[in-house]
Structure formats: C-alpha cells, structure tokens
Amino acid sequence: MEFTAEMIAGLLDGTVVGDKNAKVHTVGSIDGGRCGALAYLTNPKYEQYVYTSEASVILVDKSFEPKQPVRTTLIKVADVGACVLSLLEMYNAARPRKKGISPLSAINAAAEVGEECYVGEFTVIEAGARVGRECQIYPQCYIGDGVEIGEGTRIYPGVKIYEGCRIGRNCIIHSGAVIGADGFGFAPKPDGTFAKIPQLGNVVIEDDVEIGANTCIDRAKTEATIIRHGVKLDNLIQVGHNVEIGANTVSSAQMGIAGTSKIGANCFVAGQVGIADHVNIGDRVRIGSKTGIDKDVPDGEMRFGYPALPGMQYHRSFAVFRRLPELENKVRELEKSLSQK
C-alpha cells in the first residue's frame, strides 16, 4: 500500500512541510530510513538524523523547528508517538487475514470451529474443543480436549494448549507457548523419591491478552491459573500453578513466578524478575530487572535488587555498596595506623 504525505497528514490531523505528494509504502527508523519510508522523531537525541535521513516523510512534533536545512518532507503532528501507533494499527488492520481449514489439519468431529476461521496444516483440534469465529490458528498447533477459544484470537505456529483450558477473545499467543502443562508439584517420599501431585485444574486466560513466544503457563493443582484481561507477557516467561496475574499487568522476558503467588492489576515487571511462591503483590507495583521477590509488596510501591528493597532504600544501599572497596582500604589504613601507636 502506498500513501502520500497529504493523505497521512489528513489521517493524523497534521501539517505538511515540503512535498505534499511525497509517497511512502513502509515505516522505518529515523536513523536508517530509506526512500519510500515513513520515519518519525520521538526522541530529541535523534534530531541529527532529520537532516541526513533518506526517508521520504518524517513525523515530528508541532513544536519542532529545524536548525539546519531539511531534504525530506515533514509532517507536524500533536503527538508523534500516538500517531505512529495509529498508523501501525491501521496498517495491521488492512493486512489480509488467512481463512479456510487446511485439509492437512486434524479436527475431531466432536469439536466446533466457528465461521471465517483459519486452521493451518498439521494443527490438531481435539474432541469437545470450541473455537470462536474469526480465529487464526496457524500450522502445527495442538488444541486439547474441551479447550475453549474466544472469537478473534490468533494462535501462532507450534502453540500447545492442554485439555480444559480457556482462552478469551482477541488474544494473541505466539509460537512455542505452552498453556496448561502440569504445575511443578511433587511430594517427597520416605525412600527419598518423589510422588507426583496430580494437577487437576486448568488455565483461564481472559480477553485481550498477549502471550510471548516460548512462554509457559502451568495449570492449577485445583481450580485455575488465571491471567486477567489486558495482560501482556513477553517471551520466555514461566507462570506457575494457581498463579493469578491482574488486569493490564505487563511483564518483560524471563520473569519466573512460582506457584500460588498473585500479581495485582496495572503492574510492570521488568526482565528476569523472580517471584517466590505464596507471595502477594499489590496493584500498580513496579519491579526492576533481576529483582528477587520473596515477601508481599503493598499497592503502588517499587522494588529493586535481591533481596528486594523499596526503590529509594535500594538506591541508597547501592551507593554505599559500590564504594565498599574504597571504604575497605580506609579501614585497613586506620587499623594499620592504630596498630602502630
């Protein structure tokens, strides 16, 4: 698809500075833009590229005033970040959707697949499964017995959804994710071996959730592991049995959360965070990268480090920690001075 600068300005309520007939057919970064691309300036430190970019059109804030001659066409808008998001959403919505059931898929006669769905090659849908209308299930997926999938959900290649799990509407589950494998439950026996604890619950994922590639969400021992609506989980995340993640919480890659813990709504959890079992984390909590959480966290607080400390306490402690070698030398000098008296 190709658009002119004038068309884009009309969509975004912007003002064209330059050639209103400049054409674009793709979106690119401002430091690597090429002819035919739409680039954008959201961070002032990249302003230098406005004057050298090969992009045909660049979005800038209304307040932007160039300090050097500009070769490309500018579109001035009220909020560059919001406008870029709108354009990407429009472009994504305009992409053709796959449709049709591949003859190489295996759909049990007792399963239900809604209208206008796509089911790719070598996907298996077991008995009692129900797939809502307009779902996209890519090749080599497994949908277990009794699984429910809401309308408009997209499931990318290689996803495995075990029996009895429920997926909401308009969710996205990326390749390699496993939903509903057994929770990690074993009871020690007198002879030193372990007895497996049956995992009889399921996983419930509500509407508008996105699950990253190779993320694993374990089924509950009893009842359900629950991912509330609007949650966004990055790649390579482990969610243990009977965990609950609150609405609109976001987590970066490699978070691990142990069984029966709960994360509240509207939280942000950075990469490589570890959360112990039976921990309750409140709403609107922020957790920094590589933090280890083994105690409850009240609403609205921040945690950093291991063991986790409140934000300001962590930064004050770190300021001391990084000076420990210098402080050690001073202590040695004092000890030496005192021993000579």
Structure tokens at 231: 């949650």
Task: Measure CA of the first residue to CA of the last residue in the chain; give whole Å.
Answer: 85
Collapsing DSSP states into helix, strand and coil, what is residue 292?
strand
- Between CA 194 and CA 184 the distance in angstroms is 12
**CB-based contacts of 91, cutoff 8 Å, min separation 6:** 1, 27
- Active-site residue among 25, 174, 229, 241? 241
Please name every residue paired with 268 in a beta bridge, in sequence order, or none if there are none: 250, 286
Please report which residue ranges of the chain form alpha helices under DSSP H. 5-12, 80-94, 311-321, 324-339
* φ, ψ (nearest 5 deg) of residue 222: -140, 160
Question: Is-contact 153 171, C-beta < 8 A?
Answer: yes
- Between CA 164 and CA 145 the distance in angstroms is 6
What one-character-per-residue DSSP string does 122-186 give?
A: T-EE-TT-EE-TT-EE-TT-EE-TT-EE-TT-EE-TT-EE-TT-EE-TT-EE-TT-EEEEPP--E
Distances (CA, A) of 289 to 215, 302, 305: 18, 11, 8
Question: Is-contact 252 271, C-beta < 8 A?
Answer: yes
Place of tokens 């080599």: 140
* Residue 241 is a catalytic residue: yes
Cis amide linkage into residue 307, ω under 30° from 0 = yes
- Between CA 10 and CA 165 the distance in angstroms is 45
Catalogue the active-site residues.
Answer: 241
